Chain A
């Protein structure tokens, strides 16, 4: 149509003029200030900022668990009114139900499916996250990394079109964390979800994201949005990677020498 801009990839999520304040009376804390963001379908976005800056609050608002003080969250053209099974929030492994087995957890969101379909999906996602042989295990019998995989599998099993991940690998040891990043990218490429990933780890954001949204300290504003146009798998010793990483270090005001 004349006059209309034709976009090749449609907008999945748009945040406009988002503000968030906590508390009331004299003790008001501004957490988010004037956040505007457009996310395309299938994009991997990292929200990067220092601890306690408000990026988790932002993710909780997008997930529908919190209402913003002002501004609007629109997904697929509809304003967000609450949590929705089409968009799954992945907590750190703390969201796994300790009273359910691996199977039970992964099948948790599949209560609308027939028994056979449910079993088929569970088997598929158990395999996808590499938990074969642990189907009947309870979370207390699993390591932190395995519990994290259970959470991711449970989220993917309902076939959502968006995933919200709140520092999902923060509690893992550094080796497991690297493995989990690789697996997440593999899953993302296989399943093409739109991903919002909160982290305070600069390296992590540059390794994973299509775009890194760099946020300020509280009240969180968007400082800059960095396009990470390096194809996967990314060589983390390449010039390009190091340049992008260092420029984020500079933006945040950190020296990268210790």
Chain B
């Protein structure tokens, strides 16, 4: 056992925590080595001094002083704390709810109102449309026998917007197509009538017109309409047209073309 080992184990030796054989060896060494004896004595003396020293306890006055100081500091900080509270209050939930509610009410009112007026307006528009249609029908009937050709054409053109024209209107148009003195009116009427291909009256009128009308332009317009609606009954009068010597060649061409398309 050398002096270095002694140095390491000396604290455990003093506390008596070493195994007995190791403690005997250290005791023996200390008895022989003056250096180690001196180190041992010093260490024992140091620890003895530590144990002897009384624990320092802070005085009561210090504690009081500290709390006093704390209170003072708190007092000093207090107004600031109040200010913080105020800032937190700056978000006024109640008022926000009020504003939000009023905005919602406003919008609800607006939508409700607009919905209602929209409905009313729709009704009014429908009524107005009906009225204008009636007015237009009246105008058509009043103008369709006007002396002026241009006015008669205008009357015929008025029928363009009609979805389901009155029988009276159709009759007036058919009369124009068949018997109007002016070619252009007859043609305009034929065109106006071709907007109503569902009407049986119109179909019959076109088939009849095919045999009676002599003007090539009108014949072409009639053929085109009958081909468009695939009217099978038109084939016989169309073939008749082909046999007529006074039918112009370009009309015959249209007839041939048309017959092919119908079949």
Whether A associates with B in a native complex is no
User: B residues engaging A (CB < 8 A)?
Assistant: none
User: A residues engaging B (CB < 8 A)?
Assistant: none
